[in-house]
Amino acid sequence: MYGCEKILYNNKQSTLFGEKTTEQEYLGLVSKQYTFSEAISVLDEVDWDFKDFTTQYLTHRFHSYPARFIPQIPLTFIKLFTDEGDTVLDPFCGCGTTIVESFLNNRNSIGNDFNPLATLISKVKTTLVDETEFRYLNRKLSVMKRYLDLDYKRVEDRAEHLPNRKISKIFNKVIISKLEAIRETLLEVKEEGHDDLYDLGRTALSSTIWALVENGNGVNVDDLFLRKVKSMRERLNETAKVVKNIPDVKTINGDSRKLEVETDSIDLIVTSPPYVNALDYYRAHMYNMLWLGMDFDLFRKHEIGGHSHFIANRFRLLSEYLGDMLRSMMEMNRVLTKDKLCVIVVGNSSLEYELIESHRFFAEMAGHIGFKPIKTIHRNIDKTKKYTSADVGKIDDEYILVMQKTEDAEVTADDDNFISEIVTEQMTDFSEQIKKVQGTSIRGRMPTKERLLKNIDRISDAIETIPQDIKIKV
Ligand SMILES: C[S@@+](CC[C@H](N)C(=O)[O-])C[C@H]1O[C@@H](n2cnc3c(N)ncnc32)[C@H](O)[C@@H]1O
């Protein structure tokens, strides 16, 4: 079964309107009224590369986030397959791209992510704040500016507890002292009952820390923080002009394998899950989470596909990943209303020189759990844009898997025997392929034949341990 999925390659760049599709033409296309089957055909008309499209408008720009997808992907499905007042879910919401697009288009939405920083950013991007509140915040921040001098008492404890990494050196005493002053001011804002401003301030603080880690210590911390707050205020004011009837937005800091979402309550899912072995979000966000008092060890333990799991045999990480994704897809099936769409965006990964085509594994899982794969769309990633999926590895393209819920899954996501059975089937198929051809993802220097053949043994070892590896860690 593995490998029988049909893929639609994007060849629309120069065919739809005679030349490259403009943003206006694209919006015209997806904004019309269609029947379900017409809307499915419109997917073939879209130029999925969205080359040169604006992607950082309104609140999308609040905070960098690795491997986020471009807003036009969720926007296309929201426009074509939902009506105002419907509810859209992203179980791996990251910095909230799907949630923001739902908000801007008057759809209710739920954003779930295990990373508490992700749900914080998503909440702040979709929470309008009154001008009187911003005036109060400005008064607090002007007082803060008077107390930004170096205060050694503030610094010592934080400096001692920074992770043992080279990058920690960026956080010198002056910088730590300023970050602590900002943090303390924000705590006062919370104590004085301004919760939304507190969250907005923490997002601005986190974005400042991100800039610091990215650029080294050439950053003027307080200046950057204040500029960030100002720009968030302007963007929220612009957003308020676009969103007339404020839709419901719920953010849940939870596990995609056990969604805290009502059964049969969702009209559309658009999501991009983590890639196997591609990127550790906990590592990327370690300093932000530290300053915001978030538990990154708990996140590391439950992060799907994370580098830090199964270092000795990476194919055990693959079984774990497939089990986690199967559970997550079963949960997506449970919460989705019958006949509605579930859209999963994912790129290929590489494990020990072998190509992992996740979308093929997912399309094959779909048939066992009440989903019908409708089509898979291939798109190129614009690698010149910062923080697209391209930065999670050697990834230049991705696949959009469109599935329809045709029935309820017969088993639940906590059924370890079922998960183990499906993952064993998939890993056995994968092993058969690797026995025929090895080194399917080699791009640079060839490893020795011996090294590649070892993968066959590693995969059979991984198959042996599937029943224990797919269990959710406690
Ligand atoms: C590719 S990113 C999603 C990016 C998102 N589409 C955006 O535009 O920002 C994958 C997300 O999965 C989250 N994640 C990893 N393990 C998870 C789990 N067990 N439950 C829920 N979310 C998880 C990560 O924190 C990360 O935010």
- Per-residue pLDDT tens over the stretch 78-113: 999 999 999 999 999 999 999 999 999 999 999 999
**Quick one: 6 exposed, middle or buried, by C-beta within 10 A (0-12, 13-18, 19+)?**
exposed
Among 245, 266, 273, CA closest to 103: 245
Residue 21 has pLDDT above 70, yes or no: yes
Least confident of 185-199, 267-281, 309-323: 267-281
Q: Tokens 């890639």 correspond to what residue?
A: 275
The beta-carbon contacts of 142-146 under 8 Å, at least 24 apart in sequence, are 143/185, 144/181, 144/182, 144/185, 145/222, 145/226
Alpha-carbon separation of residue 448 from 104, 211, 444, 455, 456 (angstroms):
53, 41, 13, 12, 14
Output 467 or 395, whichever has higher pLDDT: 467
Answer yes or no: is the C-beta of 113 below 6 A from any ligand 1 atom.
yes
What's the gap in Å between 473 CA and the centre of ligand 1?
18
pLDDT, residue 122, reads 98
What's the gap in Å between 144 CA and the centre of ligand 1?
34
CA distance 376 to 348: 13
Best mutation site among 65, 275, 304 for ligand 1, i.e. most ligand atoms within 8 A of its Cβ? 304
Q: What is the mean pLDDT of residues 46-72?
A: 93
Q: Say yes or no: domain 7-126+248-469 is CATH 3.40.50.150.
A: yes
Q: What is the mean pLDDT of residues 451-466?
A: 95
Best mutation site among 72, 73, 92 for ligand 1, i.e. most ligand atoms within 8 A of its Cβ? 92
Answer yes or no: is the C-beta of 69 below 6 A from any ligand 1 atom.
yes
**Quick one: 330 exposed, middle or buried, by C-beta within 10 A (0-12, 13-18, 19+)?**
buried
Answer yes or no: is the C-beta of 256 below 6 A from any ligand 1 atom.
yes
Handedness of CA 293, 325, 455, 394 (dihedral sign): negative
DSSP state of 181: H
What's the gap in Å between 46 CA and the centre of ligand 1?
26
pLDDT digits (tens, 9 = 90+) for 357-401: 999 999 999 999 999 999 999 998 876 554 444 444 455 789 999
Answer yes or no: is the C-beta of 67 below 6 A from any ligand 1 atom.
yes
Taking every pair of Cα atoms in the chain, the longest distance, rounded to a whole number of angstroms, is 69
Residue 16 has pLDDT above 70, yes or no: no
The residue extents of the domains of the chain are: 7-126+248-469, 131-242
Q: What is the mean pLDDT of residues 307-325?
A: 91
What's the gap in Å between 93 CA and the centre of ligand 1?
6
Answer yes or no: is the C-beta of 95 below 6 A from any ligand 1 atom.
yes
pLDDT, residue 388, reads 45
Stated as kind and residue range, the H or E segment containing 213 is helix 195-215
Average pLDDT, the chain: 90
Q: What is the mean pLDDT of residues 10-36?
A: 79
Output 218 or 420, whichever has higher pLDDT: 420
Ligand 1: which residue has its CA nearest to atom 22?
Answer: 113
Answer yes or no: is the C-beta of 199 below 6 A from any ligand 1 atom.
no
At 153, is the pLDDT very low, low, confident or very high (cuts 50, 70, 90)?
Answer: low
pLDDT, residue 393, reads 47
Q: CA dihedral in degrees (118, 108, 133, 206; nearest 10)? A: 10
Among 338, 321, 340, 353, CA closest to 452: 353
pLDDT, residue 224, reads 93
Output 143 or 423, whichever has higher pLDDT: 423
Ligand 1: which residue has its CA nearest to atom 27?
Answer: 94
At 164, is the pLDDT very low, low, confident or very high (cuts 50, 70, 90)?
Answer: confident
At 14, is the pLDDT very low, low, confident or very high (cuts 50, 70, 90)?
Answer: very low
Reported pTM: 0.93
